[in-house]
Amino acid sequence: MTATTDGSTGATLPPRAAAASETDSPAPETAGAGPTPADAVRRATDFLLSRQDAEGWWKGDLETNVSMDAEDLLLRQFLGILDEDTARAAALFVRGEQRADGTWATFYGGPGDLSATIEAYVALRLAGDTPDDPHMARASAWIRGQGGIAAARVFTRIWLALFGWWKWEDLPELPPELIWFPRWVPLNIYDFGCWARQTIVPLTVVSAKRPVRPAPFPLDELHTDPALPNPPRPLAPAVSWDGAFQRLDKGLHVLRRAVPGRLRRAAMNTAARWIVERQENDGCWGGIQPPAVYSIIALYLLGYDLEHPVMREGLKSLDRFAVWREDGARMIEACQSPVWDTCLAVIALADAGVPADHTQLVKAADWMLGEQIVRPGDWAVRRPGLPPGGWAFEFHNDNYPDIDDTAEVVLALRRVRHHDPERVEKAIGRGVRWNLGMQSRNGAWGAFDVDNTSPFPNRLPFCDFGEVIDPPSADVTAHVVEMLAAEGLAHDPRTRRGIAWLLAEQEPDGSWFGRWGVNYVYGTGSVVPALVAAGFPGSHPAIRRAVGWLESAQNDDGGWGEDLRSYQDVRQWSGKGASTASQTAWALLALLAAGERDSKAVERGVEWLTSTQREDGSWDEPHFTGTGFPWDFSINYHLYRQVFPLTALGRYVHGEPAVLRQRADRRGDRPADRPAAEPKAG
């Protein structure tokens, strides 16, 4: 793989000379005038096609924060395999992310984050930076001012406990016997979202073992009072949920000493089997970095040496999360998103006018077809009779296909004229059946599991690192509804239940909350196209309220943006932030679906996208517009800045995707008051 100018990875392909003649010919650029929307579509199409890997997929870098890099170094230090070259390259990246005040943020332009700053500081100490270095002194002073290590999140203090920088007995207890809880018992492992489940199971082993490796240096400079590094935390009132769970944790600390050793060893061995059974073919766990890190530590503590095949392949998988930059810096991705990026790229290119039988679209469809998961995973615990058929987000993650990817892959496959239509139809049929079977009882869809809504996991003192359950969300539900409508199921009772849930979830101001993208712009940009696809006219009151909100949120420059702080402060930040290419595109997708293509808001939004496009057909977007956990874990998907603007501009120039319009017309799903949109001239 080769690094590209926007940070994405993929094999470089020849320019799309032939494809340009296959698409609708745009109007020539007027002498002296700026580029037209059609010109922008052509350039963006060429750029995106040139970034496809030879195997058929797309993948942009998935940028998070320096905690990933710091924890990678701490893991290697713990295992005794940290080498100077890795430490130097990681430190180069971490130093480059430090802000002038000495802190590290978890998203571009965000405030300094205590836990991320502590972990980055320790990583730089491992790489040889000293406390007296000016950048380190600024960081340690800020850390002390925020309460020091004692005020950090539990996960940060676990990492420090591995080296004796924090006491294990001052951390929440996490008993490995949790693995035996049946699913009807509160706080069984399937009450947690899949990402939390994969992390918590190995951490029960780590918590039980309480290992301590010799610290390579002290961290007294990060305590507000080095003589009292582990100050007690006050308890919440006993009548509150937080107080009750804090007292439960104290009871578990006492119980720890009473658990028979044989019972504890049996629980840890069960946890180890659970972990090993869920290792993917590429050696990773769940296709994401954090569970892989903790699984390796847990197995190492249980006697798996580094040459054991499970460990060897696990460590190799972590190396594949490294992105090496031209300056020699090494960034760690928390995850990789090829399926998600590929289906979104196909939708963008098809909606931009690339022919349905274009060689590169067919190659992408072939790759996606090969990625369909046809064996049960953890989702089958709650849906044991449901046949598999979903798609995952990553290269290898057969245990955890997700509902969002499956919906978007189906929408992408429908846009490709494949040489084996029977194969496509069977794959789509499996995907649709699986998505319908994963509907929660309230009529909506979560990302990975059914009815993953227990209120208890988030109450645990241990769980202060972000969202640990997977309740249904408006954005995922909208994507499923849009897909079902495209498959002729707009009037299916299950689809209508999803629509009813979406209507009930609309905010008073007309927007929808965005769980997996930032935030109300993303939620609204997802729901409005879904409702229109399901037959709602643009005049429907819910759509008119959404249009009104989007118009009110438009920035003076014509674009849209929303800061991640809207997850914490809705009143101040909802729909507010610097304009970005992806968020502007989300707003335009909603407005275009609502029939607003001739409105001033759409005109200004299209002009912003057209005028901010770079010469090579790409857009710049340093802002984080994706989320892992709202606010707590933010993501900059480097391909979002390409696929969503191209989709929006493509629909502006060419109108509604023809393949979906034709299917809707044949089914008779289109209401009489919603005629097919006419393409708009460039």
Q: According to DSSP H, which parts of 257-301 are helical? A: 261-277, 289-301
| CB neighbour list of residue 160: distance below 8 Å, 6 or more residues apart | 118, 122, 149, 166, 219
| CB neighbour list of residue 556: distance below 8 Å, 6 or more residues apart | none
Query: Which regions of 295-430 does DSSP assign to beta strands (E)?
Result: 322-324, 330-332
Residue 221: what residue type? E
Query: By C-alpha distance, which of 601, 562, 604, 590 is closest to 648?
Result: 590
Residue 330: what residue type? R
Q: According to DSSP H, which parts of 210-240 are helical? A: none
Per-residue model confidence (pLDDT) at position 5: 38
d(CA 547, CA 31): 35
Asked if 445 and 394 count as a contact pair (C-beta separation under 8 A), the reply is no
Residue 467: which H helix or E strand, with range? none
d(CA 13, CA 372): 25
pLDDT tops 60 at residue 668: no
d(CA 139, CA 120): 9
Residue 142: which H helix or E strand, with range? helix 134-145
Q: Looking at the chain, how many residues does it have?
A: 682
d(CA 126, CA 505): 48
- CA distance readout (Å), 383 to 279, 434, 611: 21, 10, 49
pLDDT tens per residue, range 427-437? 999 999 999 99
The torsion of the CA quartet 523, 529, 533, 534, rounded to 10 degrees, works out to 30
d(CA 559, CA 551): 10
Q: For the chain, which domains are there?
A: 2-24+38-62+335-438+473-667 (1.50.10.20), 65-332 (1.50.10.20)
pLDDT tops 80 at residue 184: yes
- Which residue bears the tokens 């991320």? 116
Average pLDDT value for residue range 600-629: 97
Report residue 243's pLDDT band, with 50, 70 and 90 as the boundaries.
Answer: low
Per-residue model confidence (pLDDT) at position 660: 59
pLDDT tops 90 at residue 471: yes
Half-sphere exposure of 455 (CA within 13 A, CB side): 3
pLDDT tens per residue, range 391-441? 999 999 999 999 999 999 999 999 999 999 999 999 999 999 999 999 999
pLDDT tops 90 at residue 355: yes
pLDDT tops 60 at residue 270: yes
Per-residue model confidence (pLDDT) at position 247: 66
- CA distance readout (Å), 45 to 211, 248, 355, 487, 616: 53, 57, 12, 27, 10
How many Å is the Cα radius of gyration of the chain?
Answer: 25
Per-residue model confidence (pLDDT) at position 362: 98
pLDDT tens per residue, range 576-593? 999 999 999 999 999 999
Query: Mind giving me the DSSP string for 93-121?
Result: HHHHH--TTS--BSSTT--B-HHHHHHHH
Q: Identify the residue with better confidence: 382 or 31.
A: 382
Per-residue model confidence (pLDDT) at position 464: 76
d(CA 480, CA 443): 11
pLDDT tops 70 at residue 333: yes
Per-residue model confidence (pLDDT) at position 173: 87
- How many CB atoms are located within 10 Å of the residue 166 CB? 23
d(CA 518, CA 567): 8
Report residue 459's pLDDT band, with 50, 70 and 90 as the boundaries.
Answer: confident
Per-residue model confidence (pLDDT) at position 672: 34
User: What does the block give as tokens for 576?
Assistant: 């507010």
Q: For strand 62-63 and strand 9-10, is the pairing parallel, antiparallel, or unpaired?
A: unpaired
Per-residue model confidence (pLDDT) at position 458: 81
Average pLDDT value for residue range 303-330: 95
State residue 369 phi and psi, 5-degree precision: -60, -40
d(CA 583, CA 624): 10
- Interior/surface letters 236-261, b for 16+ CB within 10 angstroms, e for the rest: eeeeeeeeebbeebeebeeeeeeeee
| CB neighbour list of residue 145: distance below 8 Å, 6 or more residues apart | none
Per-residue model confidence (pLDDT) at position 246: 64
- Interior/surface letters 555-583, b for 16+ CB within 10 angstroms, e for the rest: bebbbbbbbbbbbeebeebbbbbbbbbbb
d(CA 189, CA 175): 12
d(CA 484, CA 530): 9
Per-residue model confidence (pLDDT) at position 428: 98
Average pLDDT value for residue range 249-259: 74
Asked if 94 and 70 count as a contact pair (C-beta separation under 8 A), the reply is yes
d(CA 41, CA 642): 11
State residue 9 phi and psi, 5-degree precision: -120, 145
Collapsing DSSP to helix, strand or coil, 231 comes out as coil
Query: By C-alpha distance, which of 315, 291, 303, 298 is closest to 210?
Result: 298
| CB neighbour list of residue 426: distance below 8 Å, 6 or more residues apart | none
Query: Catalytic residue positions?
Result: 404
Average pLDDT value for residue range 641-648: 98
Average per-residue pLDDT for the chain: 90
Collapsing DSSP to helix, strand or coil, 224 comes out as coil
Asked if 580 and 640 count as a contact pair (C-beta separation under 8 A), the reply is no
Report residue 384's pLDDT band, with 50, 70 and 90 as the boundaries.
Answer: very high
pLDDT tens per residue, range 514-565? 999 999 999 999 999 999 999 999 999 999 999 999 999 999 999 999 999 9
- How many CB atoms are located within 10 Å of the residue 423 CB? 13
Asked if 7 and 63 count as a contact pair (C-beta separation under 8 A), the reply is yes
pLDDT tops 80 at residue 33: no
pLDDT tops 80 at residue 595: yes
Written in H, E and C, the secondary structure of 436-454 is HHCCCCCCCCCCCCCCECC
Per-residue model confidence (pLDDT) at position 237: 78
d(CA 527, CA 502): 8
Collapsing DSSP to helix, strand or coil, 637 comes out as strand
d(CA 316, CA 312): 6
d(CA 629, CA 166): 26
